[in-house]
A and B are shown apart, each in its own frame.
Chain A
Amino acid sequence: MIALLRRDLTLALRSSGGFGLGLAFFVIVLVLTPFAVGPDPAGLAAIAPGMPWLAALLAVLLTLDRLFAIDAEDGTLEQLALALPLEAAFVAKALAHWLTTGAMIALIAPALGLLLYLPQSAYAPLFLGLLIGTPSLSFIGAFGAALTVAVKRGGLLLSLLVLPLYVPTLILGAEAARRGAAGLSYETPLLLLGALSLVSLAAMPFAGAAALRASLR
């Protein structure tokens, strides 16, 4: 499992377009936002707590469709299924996905908050929220990726399946940042977000492994 995690991380780091791509996409969406809504600082500050979350959702989605598809195509997935429980393989892959996208997004988001005139008090809840909430994005997304392994060019289908599942994460995460921006206490949404991540962490490996097993059969 550790070996698989390291392999996926190495692959993401060395191959072109795995690791950097999601992150670059996240940056570009946020850089383009002012062009769409206008450069007015007040208007930008109003959407600044929510936009990083929306961009994170899309960036996470972008790198999901190859999570299992490449390994399924060349037979690696079958070998993995022989070597260790698919649940463990699922956890390793989802974890690698989170480390290369979600965690990086959380690190870089505060810097981009500057571009959107994010209110001072919202930096902490935005960063913490992304750090706590993006694991659920990776694990739910990996379940979606497992569902669409059997589908050729499943990227669009994947987004239709996964985005509705992201609604609770998005609501709670953006709510924490918005409460921070308004100077309110943001503890409750963060706690709920943590609960959501833990539930995804606990339940999704089983659902995802079942989907993979069905597809391998």
Chain B
Amino acid sequence: MRSLWEYANPRLFMGWTGTALPWLWALGLGLTALGLIWGFFFTGDDFRMGSTVKIIYIHVPSALMAINGYFLMFVAALIWLIRRQPVSALVGRAAAPVGLVMTLIGLVTGAIWGQPMWGTWWAWDPRLTSFLILALFYLGYIALWEAISDPELAADLTAMLAIVGSVFAVLSRYAARFWNQGLHQGTSVPVATGGRTIDDVFFWPLACAMVGFFFLFVALTLVRARTEVRARRLSVLTAREAG
């Protein structure tokens, strides 16, 4: 029986991700397409929100992955600092741009929905505000990776930034709630209580899209991490060639 950590060995990592990726792509694209098509064409309009309700199938999954993406970076940073697994640093680096795009999708779809429903593109609501700040955190993390050429040092420093940033992202969330009361509705699928304020008709396609977005996120991150591993190998080879 192999220890779990061995799968993070770069060579083994390239092996199993290579096998898993086609499946992840199929699951991600398939479920996302299923959720979106089901949601867009085979569910009725909401009686109050009309057809604008359909944006939920993009908005909620992307927002979910935006937050989980940052959490993934936090965990990857911890693993890198504690166990010095090079792949985990690269996964953190790979996840950041994907998470940033998810954050932006969440913000843009929210604005498109908010214009007809709230009568405004933007409100300084705690949820919206903390998402904007989350996007800034992603930007800072990416910028720090790009700014430092020594890969080991860059991995160290970005990991520290990710950890401190996670703490402050949570603090900002609560500070923002303290600062302004919300306009954004509460969650429709509270995981903690198990209850739902959304009808099954809308819930199942939404769940499909959420799972689909999850696998899409994983697939995109793994593709980027594999690229990073290859780039790292290439730079080692060129360094050897030159030396």
Contact = CB atoms under 8 A, between A and B. Distances in A.
Interface of B: 133, 136-137, 139-140, 143-144, 147-148, 150, 153, 156-157, 160-161, 163-165, 167-168, 171-172, 175-176, 178-179
B161 A192 contact: no
A163 to B, nearest CB: 7
Contact of A192 (B136, B150, B176, B178): B178
Interface range on chain A (Cβ under 8 Å from partner): 20 to 34
A211 B164 CA distance: 12
B175 A147 contact: no
Nearest to A189: B178
Contact of B150 (A150, A171, A172): A150
A167 interface: yes
Interface stretch (A18-26, A51-59, A153-161): A153-161
Main secondary structure of the interface of A (DSSP, over half): helix
Given A150-B150, A154-B147, A214-B157, A160 B140 contact: yes
25 contacts: A140-B168, A147-B157, A147-B160, A148-B147, A150-B148, A150-B157, A154-B147, A161-B143, A161-B161, A164-B133, A165-B168, A167-B133, A167-B168, A167-B172, A168-B172, A171-B179, A172-B175, A172-B178, A207-B160, A207-B163, A210-B160, A211-B160, A214-B156, A214-B157, A217-B153
A108 to B, nearest CB: 26
A211 B168 contact: no
Interface string A177-211: 00000000000010010001000000110010011
B179 A175 contact: yes
Contacts of A210: 156, 160
**Residue from B139, B156, B157, B165 whose CB has the most chain A CB atoms within 10 Å:** B157
B156 A168 contact: no
Most B C-beta atoms less than 10 A away, residue of A147, A164, A203? A164
